[in-house]
């Protein structure tokens, strides 16, 4: 059993820890105290997940640009070189170079002929079975889907930040209460020790107080660790390292949330605006466009092209040796080794998956909404009951304390009354911050933060 000076020193150290790590009174070494709104702003500015989602939006925008590129002419340049004594090719090269001499050429043995051909080719897709059109529409929907996914990420993030903020406040309040308990038990222990030395108190009553002090000190240590854990969790959501300085305002009083609306009204709000559900519905539309594009692979394709080049036996340009070719080519795949059919099957399966994912998302949101509504109602009810319980337990403790000082009741009865008061206060703290956290969950379930 620790001596009284040791226990006083331990309590003083715990108090200093709270003042240093929680209250952040030293403004020279700690940042300004942040409200919930300021904490949310910090999360929106620093959380890496939002930056990732913005990068996905930019990526989807680039994919749209890539899909739209097919609607522009494609122009490319090239330079080719050939060297051959093949009669057919050599004869064609001589004609293209405007160097054919009918009198002096042996068509069966033309010798080696070389050909340089710089050229410019322009092509334009006239029709590809609607594939390009549907792919561009899918890409446009992909941007909208990415924006909705970012809104869904923001919705989850702000809900988690709010819950973590109130979780840290709950841990701080629990720690403060444990310190008050230690102080009260130590005071009673000192008085009881004096009465024990005077022969007016049983040894068992004194030991009971020492046990209660040890339990209170253990609870104090756990509460201090809970503050640190909750604070580090909040920092992670803010995109900060655990070594970065950040402090919340523990002096703010948060009002209890209002009772939630009826489930049907909440569900109507969720179904009309929840970003996760809207994103799932966008994926269904994207899958439908992909199916239409896959069907287009079975239709004919038409391309127009223009080719301008010059053929010579050296790289010297001569306008008398240039050639111009223009035309239209229509082609249609007859057999591709079942590649087109399998691509269509894949797109159809992806559409089925998208439809089921949208249905699953709706069911999950409905369950999340109902659960959050019930939890909030329960927490509000517990908050009202616990407030009355705290008042009753404090009055009971006051009466028992007076009786104990008068010697009417034993110290055990006094300890029981104090434990009952502490439990009532703990339930009040828990129910209060549970209500605030469940209100954040309910807001997330209806897509409040977008």
pLDDT in tens, 163-215: 999 999 999 988 888 888 888 788 878 877 887 888 777 788 788 888 888 88
Q: What is the CATH number of domain 74-127+301-332?
A: 2.20.200
Residue 298 neighbours by CB under 8 Å, 6+ apart: 129, 333, 340
Residue ranges matching CATH 2.20.200 in the chain:
74-127+301-332
Residue 441 is predicted with a pLDDT of: 94
| 239-277 exposure pattern, b = at least 16 Cβ within 10 A, e = fewer | bbeeeeebbbebeeeeeebeebeeeeebbeebbeebbbb
Q: Which helix (H) or strand (E) holds 21?
A: none
Q: Is 289 helix (H, G, I), strand (E, B) or coil?
A: helix
Q: Is-contact 138 290, C-beta < 8 A? A: yes
- Cα–Cα dist 413/406, whole Å: 13
Q: Is-contact 302 329, C-beta < 8 A? A: yes
- Cα–Cα dist 118/134, whole Å: 36
- Cα–Cα dist 316/156, whole Å: 67
Residue 3 is predicted with a pLDDT of: 45
Residue ranges matching CATH 1.20.1600.10 in the chain:
4-72+130-298+336-445
- Residue of 258, 239, 254 lying closest to 35 (CA atoms): 254
- Cα–Cα dist 17/110, whole Å: 99
Residue 31 is predicted with a pLDDT of: 57
pLDDT in tens, the chain (450 residues): 444 444 444 444 444 444 344 444 444 444 578 999 999 999 999 999 999 999 999 999 999 999 999 999 999 999 999 999 999 999 899 888 888 887 767 778 888 999 999 999 999 999 999 999 999 999 999 999 999 999 999 999 999 999 999 999 999 988 888 888 888 788 878 877 887 888 777 788 788 888 888 888 898 898 899 999 999 999 999 999 988 999 998 877 678 899 999 999 999 999 998 999 999 999 999 999 999 999 999 999 999 999 999 999 888 877 788 899 999 999 999 998 999 999 999 999 999 999 999 999 999 999 999 999 999 999 999 999 999 999 999 999 899 888 877 878 777 787 788 888 888 988 898 899 999 999 999 999 999 988
Q: Is 315 exposed, middle or buried (0-12, 13-18, 19+ CB in 10 A)?
A: exposed
321: how many CB neighbours lie within 10 A of its CB?
A: 18
> Is the CATH number 1.20.1600.10 carried by domain 4-72+130-298+336-445?
yes
Angle (CA) 346-352-355 rounded to 5° is 140
Q: List, for residues 219-236, the tens digit of each pLDDT value.
A: 889 889 999 999 999 999
| CB hemisphere CA count around 39 (13 angstroms) | 27
pTM for this predicted structure = 0.80
Task: State the sign of the Cα–Cα–Cα–Cα dihedral 389, 391, 394, 395.
Answer: negative
Structure token pair of residue 385: 């009951």
- Cα–Cα dist 384/435, whole Å: 11
- Cα–Cα dist 429/423, whole Å: 10
Residue 12 is predicted with a pLDDT of: 42
Q: Is-contact 283 347, C-beta < 8 A? A: no
Residue 289 is predicted with a pLDDT of: 96
Task: State the sign of the Cα–Cα–Cα–Cα dihedral 22, 27, 32, 33.
Answer: positive
Question: In terms of DSSP H, where are the helices of 69-130?
Answer: 87-96
447: how many CB neighbours lie within 10 A of its CB?
A: 21
Q: Is-contact 297 340, C-beta < 8 A? A: yes
Q: Is-contact 344 291, C-beta < 8 A? A: yes
Q: Is-contact 396 351, C-beta < 8 A? A: no
- Cα–Cα dist 448/450, whole Å: 6
Strand partners, 302: 127, 330
Q: Which helix (H) or strand (E) holds 78?
A: strand 74-84
Q: Is-contact 220 175, C-beta < 8 A? A: yes
């Amino acid at each position: 059993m620790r001596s009284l000076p040791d226990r006083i020193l331990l309590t003083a150290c715990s108090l200093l820890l709270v003042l240093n790590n929680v209250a952040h009174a030293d403004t020279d070494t700690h940042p300004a105290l942040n409200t919930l709104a300021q904490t949310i702003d910090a999360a929106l500015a620093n959380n890496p997940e939002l930056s990732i989602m913005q990068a996905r939006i930019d990526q989807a925008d680039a994919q749209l640009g890539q899909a739209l590129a097919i609607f522009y002419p494609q122009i490319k340049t090239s330079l080719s070189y050939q060297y051959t004594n093949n009669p057919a090719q050599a004869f064609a090269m001589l004609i293209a170079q405007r160097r054919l001499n009918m009198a002096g050429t042996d068509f069966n043995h033309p010798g080696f002929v070389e050909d340089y051909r710089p050229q410019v080719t322009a092509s334009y897709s006239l029709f590809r079975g609607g594939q390009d059109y549907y792919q561009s529409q899918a890409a446009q929907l992909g941007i909208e889907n990415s924006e909705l996914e970012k809104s869904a990420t923001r919705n989850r993030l702000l809900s988690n930040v709010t819950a973590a903020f109130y979780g840290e406040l709950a841990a701080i309040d629990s720690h403060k209460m444990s310190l008050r308990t230690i102080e009260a038990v130590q005071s009673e222990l000192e008085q009881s020790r004096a009465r024990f030395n005077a022969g007016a108190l049983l040894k068992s009553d004194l030991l009971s107080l020492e046990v209660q002090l040890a339990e209170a000190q253990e609870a104090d240590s756990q509460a201090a660790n809970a503050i640190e854990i909750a604070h580090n969790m909040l920092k992670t959501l803010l995109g900060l390292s655990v070594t970065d300085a950040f402090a919340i305002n523990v002096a703010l009083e948060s009002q209890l949330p209002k009772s939630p609306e009826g489930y049907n009204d909440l569900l109507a709000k969720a179904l009309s605006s929840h970003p996760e559900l809207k994103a799932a519905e966008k994926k269904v539309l994207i899958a439908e466009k992909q199916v239409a594009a896959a069907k287009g692979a079975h239709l004919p394709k038409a391309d127009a092209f223009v080719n301008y080049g010059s053929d010579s036996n050296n790289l010297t340009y001569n306008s008398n040796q240039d050639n111009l070719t223009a035309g239209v080519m229509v082609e249609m795949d007859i057999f591709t080794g079942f590649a087109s059919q399998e691509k269509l099957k894949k797109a159809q399966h992806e559409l089925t998956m998208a439809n089921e994912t949208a249905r699953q998302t709706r069911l999950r949101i409905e369950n999340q909404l109902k659960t959050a509504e019930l939890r909030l109602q329960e927490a509000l009810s517990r908050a009202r009951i616990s407030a009355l319980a705290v008042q009753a337990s404090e009055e009971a403790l006051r009466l028992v304390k007076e009786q104990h000082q008068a010697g009417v009741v034993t110290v055990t009865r006094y300890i029981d009354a104090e434990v009952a008061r502490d439990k009532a206060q703990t339930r009040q703290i828990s129910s209060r911050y549970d209500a605030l956290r469940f209100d954040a969950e309910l807001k997330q379930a209806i897509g409040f933060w977008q």
